[in-house]
Amino acid sequence: MSKSIITIDKNNFENEVLKSDKPVIVDFWAAWCGPCRMVAPVIDQLADQYSGKVKVAKINVDENPELAGMYQVMSIPTILMFKEGKKVDELVGARPKQAFEDMIQKSI
């Protein structure tokens, strides 16, 4: 995992995501999820590619069900984009890198 990626839980969600001065892309995932493993290298690339412009974070839904519930994450991977403390975009399922780049470009 890229060193630019932040691991999020209920203790740091507010500060790292909702109060962030940069847009934040959040990957809701689980270790047992095949499509999540397919998306992980793309998320890593995006973290390095957009370092300094966008925060990239991961939330393990098994360890943080309350955060998944708060944003009605019903299937994983679900990737949410936050800007100024609000969810502004969402992608569900394994997607090509370009789909995530498009989502990021709309927020920076």
Task: Identify whether 90 is a catalytic site residue.
Answer: no
- Annotated catalytic residue, options 33, 56, 57, 76: 33
Task: Identify whether 36 is a catalytic site residue.
Answer: yes
What angle, 0 to 180 degrees and rounded to 10, lies between the N-to-C axes of helices 97-107 and 34-49? 50
Query: Is the C-alpha dihedral spanning 23, 2, 92, 71 positive or negative?
Result: negative
Contacts (Cβ under 8 Å, ≥6 apart) of 73: 28, 61
59 exposure class (CB count in 10 Å sphere: 0-12, 13-18, 19+): buried
- Annotated catalytic residue, options 26, 36, 56, 91: 36
Residues acting as catalytic residues: 33, 36
